[in-house]
Amino acid sequence: MKPQICVVGSVNMDLVFRTPRMPAVGETLHGHEFRQIPGGKGANQAVAAARQGADVRFIGAVGDDGFGDFSQQSLSSDGITLTHLSRIPGVATGVAGILVEDNGSNSIVLAAGANASLTPAHIDAAASDIRNAQILLCQLETPLDTVTHAIATAHAAGVKVILNPAPAQDLSPALLAQVDYLILNETEAAQLSGVLVTDTVSAQAASEKLLAMGVGQVLLTMGGHGAQITQAGQSQFIPAIRVDVVDTTAAGDTFVGAFAVGIANGLSLLEASQEAQYTAALTVTKLGAQTSIPKRAEVVAFMAARTA
């Protein structure tokens, strides 16, 4: 049986520019190339989970435009069930403008488009998919009241909840108390916990404060340094897997999707985190969001080569 994962989240079309550096205010800068690549945190995480072998059901919204058509076809090609991917008339599909520097760093500007039209009513229409899943996976590129309703639906049904609170915003203790696994970066951890994260010591302090706020377990990702994983009475730092970086876009999303599959497959917190690290490391060796997310066979071969 494939692990059953339900994703509530965003769908964007990524407009990706390669550039030697970030332009200054008022500056016109010649880039190297341009690509149009399917993205959005929700869609990326759904694709990552599907490529790691999960049966994924997606709840989201796109516009009635060409980007919506393209995104729907792309998600379908990965075997993701799209019964509850809504087409919103008269609204554009979400778009992300992404500048990728030669060193792999990126900056992103979002226009939510149809993602902002996802409502609690859409969650109610898809409630059976949430209740029948092993894991509900959410982010914050769709309205917070919709995400809150989805998490409450899953929690009431005993379904494990993974929340990636990105983009960062304040969240209530009542919501956090329903989250089994909180996966976030340094910026998001600082906003939620009030602890500035600069190293492993501060990462652990922030994680412990989030546990005290009701979160079940915390995974604090620290980019190329690694990840701090914390649960009641136990904390461990996992170093990053060293690779040649081409583009960091979707690395975090790939980590989240792969981690969800590991947990659904019965792996421990540490084991699922380690597999997610390897999966994310492969992602940064390629350009783009969904175009860079590896399949399970690639990850297995990569782990075998690095641990031999």
**Helix, strand, coil percent content, the chain, rounded in steps of 5:** 40, 25, 35
How are strands ordered across the β-sheet holding 135-138? Answer: 81-88, 55-63, 4-8, 135-138, 160-163, 181-185, 217-221, 226-231, 234-239
Q: Are the beta carbons of 218 and 229 closer than 8 angstroms? A: yes
Catalytic residue among 65, 129, 180, 253: 253
Which parts are annotated binding residues? 12-14, 40-44, 141, 185, 221-226, 247, 249, 252-253, 283, 286, 288, 292
Rounded to the nearest 5°, which phi and psi values hold at 90?
Answer: 75, 10
Calculate the dihedral angle through the C-alpha atoms of 127, 172, 257, 206, rounding to the nearest 10 degrees.
-160
Q: Report the alpha-carbon angle 274-279-281, nearest 5.
A: 95
Known binding positions for K(+): 247, 249, 283, 286, 288, 292
- Known binding positions for ATP: 185, 221-226, 252-253
Assess whether 253 carries a catalytic annotation: yes
Residues with active-site annotation? 253
